[in-house]
Structure 1
Amino acid sequence: MRESVVKLNEYTLRIFSLNTIVVGSGAAGLNAVDRVFSFGQKDVALLTDNLKWGTSRNTGSDKQTYYKLTLAGNVPDSVYELAETLFNGGSMDGDIALVEAALSARAFFRLVELGVPFPHSRYGEYVGYKTDHDPKQRATSAGPLTSYYMCEKLLEEIRRKGIKIFEGYQVIGILTDRNEEKTIGLIALDLNNIDDPEKRYVLFNVKNIIYATGGPAGMFYFHSVYPPVHFGATGIAFEAGVMGKNLTEWQFGIASKKFRWNLSGTYQQVIPRYVSTDENGNDEREFLEEYFPDPSTMLNAIFLKGYQWPFDVRKIKNYGSSLIDILVFYETVIKGRRVWLDFTRNPSWGSKNGELDFSLLGKEAYEYLKNSGALFGRPIDRLEKMNRPAIEVYLQHGIDLRKEYLEIGVCAQHNNGGLHGNIWWESNLKHFFPVGEVNGSHGVYRPGGSALNSGQVGGVRAAQYIVENYSGDPLCEEEILEEAKDQILKKIELGESFVKKITGKSNVSSILKEISERSMRSMGIVRSLEEAGKGKNEALRDFNNLIEKVELSSIRQLPFAFRLYDVLLTQYVYLSAVENYIESGGKSRGSYIVHDPTGELPVPNLPEMFRYSLAGESFNKKIQRVRCKENRCEFFWDPVKEIPREDTWFETIWNSFMRREVFR
């Protein structure tokens, strides 16, 4: 790596030149930079706003899942069977499914060797359990903080190797060559020197970019289970010409709002009370019973919400568990009320003198609680018995489930879509590798925990391809300035326009709230063509008028102005994708309802906006891709690639490997 200082017009810029930069310090980014270094490319560095801000470090659930090939017991499994499970989720390319399956054991055991405490039997078997959309028992967990442990151990390894970390830098632009065929660098804010115009903007002149910035959480900021420090940076990738893929496919689920945490698994299996209040916490009522035919059906739906935590349009009918998500959405987003989980008392409907009538439970729920020794007491008592760490997680954040209600909402949890990448995780722009959640490798459905596997596998693949094909130095400083001069100046001038909007007061939070409300209204779990089109136009209007609209309290808010820029551009492209999907005949699938006036209502006493019908299977055999050019979106619908069935004769592969043909 070399460092230099140059002048571009009246601006002073520091330039760091190196082979590969990895952007993002979640589990995917940390793994990627370690892999590049380990495979032999030592001229690599990590760039991050803050090492403690990665989503992986700050999220979890009652038992956070990591999904991989079966590694215990006598139930048969294979790479192809795992690939088929991933592929059968719909709208996923089979070649990527095969790669994620083939490398799952390698990625998993790397984490084991680094010290992530995944449990194994006395014989060394890494046992598993069944997670959502999982036909076997491939899931494992290190507890509520699985991805946190991954980040900790990966960071320890990076520091042990002495890999360079640029902490306190926010990427604000991706630089391409004149032909817009490949990326050649980044422009970033130096958050440590943001007060100094001479040091405010920094260039990274690089041959390769591994982009591990996570999902575009900023769009759902106030309706999100992503940590508050996470925004994503997908918009500037669209701006550079990177294609999007399956952008319509989000995963939503019930989560707590004060401390953002997924309320899956044991939190639901202990059968808490669902309570609705007005904005001030008054007018308390247990609202679920208004929509279920009897207490037994309601109690079983709550229990199953633990297994079936993500909102799934296929699990609405016949009072399925996802009806609960619809009812929570109706109470909060439509009626404007607040919804809470209460672990201190049993649901009134189904209890006698405060004691739950366990005989009302179905066989699955009853036997689960019986086998767990939890056929007694209040929800908090059952939670204490079955999963005490689930209580302690909240205690560590000042919330005592033994004494207080837990405010909840239906929250955006994961984007199954994202940026386009091939089987080496390289995008349509050469030398640019989206890795982790920002890569849209998943389809409509995915097994719980498969995202962690995908992020680790993606880092391996990108690192392999870079080391085999993209070694050497980046452009010289004069060349990158010549190639990307206009792009660099445009970003700096945008930043200085924001600086001029420092008025001593701020409206950043209110703009972010508007964006968040628009996302939930236009591309949440209930969608319509009218709302998608309206939201898209509003997002583009706000994006074009951002400089005039935004007010900053101080120079310290300049990074947030750039975040708003990215989030609004991202929202415009995503809502354009939702509109295009519905215009193309797409109906309800995955984690959202598309309003269909000729469809059916989940239950009779819900309003017409919830009327829906399921998408045809033909849509699961296609992938929607989009490219945004000068704020105009062009869409492509491609058939999914089938899972490759190539010759795996050992001598054939061995010879191909020795000739390095497998890395092409």
Structure 2
Amino acid sequence: MDQSTWIDQHATGHLQVDGQSIPIVTANTVVVGTGAAGYCAADRLVMLGQKDVVMVTDKRRAGASRNAGSDKQTYYKLTLAGAEPDSVREMAETLFSGGSMDGDIALAEAAWSPRAFFHLVESGVPFPHNASGEYVGYKTDHDPRQRATSVGPYTSRTMVEKLEGRVKDGHGIPVLDLCRVVDLVVEDGAVVGLLCVRLDVGADHPSRFLLLRCTNLVYATGGPAGMYADSVYPNGQWGANGAALRAGVHGKNLTEWQFGLASIHPRWNVSGTYMQALPRFVSTDADGGDAREFLGEFLPDYGDQLTRIFLKGYQWPFDVRKAPEGSSLIDLLVYQETKLRGRRVWLDFRANPAEEHFDASKLSDEARAYLDATGVTGLGDSTPIERLQHMNRPAYEFYLQRNPGVDLETDMLEVAVCAQHNNGGLEVDQWWQSNLAGFFPVGEAAGAHGVYRPGGAALNSGQVGATRAASYIAQARTEDPVDEGTFASAAAPVAERAASLLKEAGARAASGTDGTDELLTRIRRLMSDKAGVVRSRESVAQAREEITALLAGYEATIAADLDSRRSVSRLFLIRDILTSQYVYLNAMEHYVASGGLSRGSVLYTDAEGDLPVVDASVSAALPELFRLRLDAGKLDDVIQVTSWDGAADPEFTWRERRPIPEHAEAFENTWRTYRENKNIG
């Protein structure tokens, strides 16, 4: 049965708006997004007894969890092997120590990490264990233990595929594809539905829109990836935070992003073995000529340069604390080449840095010991490609298999400092419910993390958050959706505005040109240039002024070809991105105005600060743009909360972060309350 037929057969009514006959599909819970968090939520809902579930997505095979990864993509969980001590409380404290993270969320993510992990194992994700059944681990960034595990470059993809099989084949949950979020439908402080634009039908269809009436909305839309041009998010991952912010959902720690070195064709993190193989860093002009190594300009000592490159392997995210004297200076030197000098940067695995013979004795003890343990030093005078293939041949083969393919034996790999993850997002409580009743952001859409987080913690957070949201819904939010009349009253103005935007944008395109592609490129480039990994009070203000004007005039000026499904999609996508950019930029301005300094994965230019330290023999000076003062944890105990009514300017407050709960009840008391309500509420 095709999708239009399914919708026609399952529609519980229609809303007539400006010539559109919009079908209404009704369910207790609608899950938006078909990544690892979305499929987990749908699977858990059915397992817990709530079978009245519909899933919607803008593109089923797109999204970060299905298409992103690294040389060895990490999943973070409680220690499940060996004699090294660990505990739920200790893992919670590790997460909490990242700064500006709520303690109840940290405890929930630690306590339910085994439950989430073993659900994946039983679903068929092949996490490795030893002969005795211990799920062995390794240490990842910001991890004091060895809690990390992996199934290789495609850990999250494997998770998606296994969970998708359970949802589609095991539970038969309908998945409505090519439905892009337009707006939430809200009534009296609660979500009651969702409006989507359908990309599976053309202009001749009775309606380009779909309404979903529901009691609960699980929002697994991923991070707002469309905000930045320099991005390692996979093509097709855009996010939909703008719709939630327009509906009054609070934002949390919106300023906190994670940036890192990534290849751009194809998009992929160059972490782990890609750095530990010690490639050359080469820059060229825009046409690929005038090739030269550039790290030596500021890191002339051979051993120091190679050690910093090596450390980027497991210190992959840009960390401003490691910029003054550590491995993150490399990110800044790449940024200088690309953003300030207008050049392109490449990793070259064909020859050693400085075209010297490889000499492991000049590396730091830490780097040399690692390369000894992996057998690299036994290769003798090796090249980076020989070291990469020896340590991790699948990492080499990965680029051969991508589109476009890159053979690292013969070709250089173009890289940039890219946006990779929004550690902030939409505010949630310990059951992942937002301030809007019935609205549950999960996965990267949820602002569940602190300023820093261990590598792989996002995958655990998505699974735990989805499980907790499903648990709450199945226990406490089983009622039917609002009645048809109430829903129609709430949905009509939302649908009318969307239909008007579609109609008027089409009329402008009929007498002019489609402006969606050009505008999308412009606003994403603006964010990367003015509010990316390096930003200042002035650059953020400039970006905010431009985005504010574009958002204010968007509905009256944008033109979109209604015969092009791509243009119709981008008509609503750009509005969502502009909304997110507007609110996020205001949050950045508020952060700086509140005395916020460089922290996490962001450098805020500060005229009163210091430049990163370089070799004393270097005569060249780093640009003033890199002058910084470290936050040193002064805002770790508070959280920036954003609220916006869609009309006036966003409002911001600082609240104390919630502490890690102390549970000292007797077993019998916990057992009694669990029998009453499963301790949900």
TM-score > 0.5 by shorter chain: yes
Q: Which residue of structure 2 lines up, in the alignment, with residue 625 of structure 1? A: 641
1:151 aligns with 2:160: yes
> Which of 20, 23, 30 is the matching residue for 1:21?
30
Tell me, yes or no, if structure 1 residue 209 matches structure 2 residue 190: no
Matches within 5 A, 1:476-625: 476-503=483-510, 505-553=513-561, 554-556=563-565, 557-603=567-613, 605-625=621-641
Alignment of 1:294-309 (within 5 A): 294-309=301-316
Q: How far apart, CA to CA, are the structure 1 residues paired with 2:253 and 2:557?
A: 31
Aligned pairs for 1:69-80 (under 5 A) are 69-80=78-89
Residues in 1 aligned to 2:678 and 2:387: alpha-carbon distance in whole angstroms: 56
Distance 1:147 1:501 in 2: 42
Counterpart in 1 of 2:397? 392
Tell me the amino acid that sits aligned with residue 333 of structure 1: K
For the Cα contact (< 8 Å) 2:261–2:331, is it kept in 1? yes
Q: Of residues 326, 330, 340 in structure 1, which corresponds to 2:336?
A: 330
1: CA distance, partners of 2:569 / 2:179:
10
Q: Deviations over 1:333-363 (max 9, x none)?
A: 12111000001111116x1xxx212221111
| 1:195 Cα deviation from its structure 2 partner | 2.3
Q: Determine whether 1:447 maps to 2:454.
A: yes
Aligned residues: 656
**Paired residues for 1:382-421 under 5 Å:** 382-397=387-402, 398-421=405-428
Aligned letter for 2:444?
A: E
Question: Equivalent residue of 1:658, what SS?
Answer: helix
Which whole-Å CA distance do the structure 1 matches of 2:581 and 2:33 have between them? 21
* Aligned-pair CA distance for 1:631: 4.8
State the alpha-carbon separation in 1 of the partners of residues 35 and 653 from structure 2: 31
Partners of 1:414 and 1:580 lie apart in 2 by: 21
Which amino acid in structure 1 is aligned with residue 292 of structure 2?
Answer: R
Deviation at 1:2, TM superposition (A): 5.2
- Among 630, 646, 657, the alignment partner of 2:674 is 657
**CA distance in 1 between partners of 2:168 and 2:629 (Å):** 52
Structure 1 residue runs without a partner (length 5+): none
Q: Say which of 365, 368, 391 aligns to 1:366.
A: 368
Is the Cα contact below 8 Å between 1:67 and 1:447 reproduced in 2? yes
Q: Which residue of 2 aligns with 1:223?
A: 230
Secondary structure of residue in 1 paired with 2:654: strand
Deviations 1:360-407 (A, max 9, x none): 111111121121111232111111111111111111111111110100
1:618 maps to amino acid: K
CA shift for structure 1 position 197: 4.7
Percentage identity across aligned positions?
A: 49
Q: CA deviation at 1:505?
A: 4.6
User: What letter corresponds to residue 460 of structure 1 in structure 2?
Assistant: T
Q: Give the match for residue 257 of structure 1.
A: 264
Distance in structure 1 (CA, Å) of the matches to 2:202 and 2:148: 44
Q: CA deviation at 1:488?
A: 2.1
Q: Which amino acid aligns with 2:389?
A: E
Cα deviation, 1:85-105, whole Å, max 9, x if unaligned, reads 000000000011000000000
Give the C-alpha shift of residue 487 in structure 1.
2.1
Out of 653, 665, 668, the position equivalent to 1:636 is: 653
Output the CA distance in 2 between the equivalents of 1:299 and 1:348. 10
Distance in 1, matches of 2:426 and 2:132, equals 41
Contact 1:291 1:603 in 2 (8 A): no
4+ residue runs over 4 A deviation: none
Q: Secondary structure at the match of 2:140?
A: coil
Q: 1:6: how far off?
A: 3.7
Give the Cα separation in 2 of the matches to 1:138 and 1:371: 20
Q: Out of 128, 135, 138, which is 1:119 matched to?
A: 128
State the one-letter code of the partner of 1:558: V
Q: Is residue 111 of structure 2 the alignment partner of residue 102 of structure 1?
A: yes
Structure 2: tracts of 5 or more residues without a match:
1-9, 615-620
Report the Cα offset of residue 190 of structure 1: 1.6
- 2:471 equivalent among 464, 470, 490: 464
Aligned-partner SS, 2:195: strand
Task: Measure the CA separation in 1 of the matches of 2:513 and 2:367.
Answer: 53
Contact 1:498–1:558 (CA under 8 A) maintained in structure 2: no
Alpha-carbon displacement from aligned partner over 1:430-458 (angstroms, at most 9, x marks no partner): 00000000000001000000000000001
User: Could you tell me whether the CA contact under 8 Å between 2:35 and 2:63 is conserved in 1?
Assistant: yes
Conserved 8 A contact 1:216-1:233 = yes
Opposite residue 581 of structure 1, the aligned amino acid is Y
Amino acid at match of 2:623: P
Between the aligned partners of 2:654 and 2:529, the Cα distance in structure 1 is 25
Q: Residue type of the partner of 1:477?
A: E
Q: What is the aligned counterpart of 1:340 among 326, 336, 346?
A: 346
Residue number among 3, 6, 16 corresponding to 2:12 in the alignment? 3
Q: TM-score, normalised by structure 2?
A: 0.94
- Quick one: distance in 2 between partners of 1:452 and 1:649? 32
Distance in 2 (alpha carbons) for counterparts of 1:382 and 1:10: 64
Question: What TM-score, normalized by structure 1, do the two folds share?
Answer: 0.97
Contact 1:2/1:18, CA 8 A, preserved across alignment: no
Deviations along 1:523-558, one digit per CA (max 9) or x if unpaired, are: 211111111111111111111222454343543111
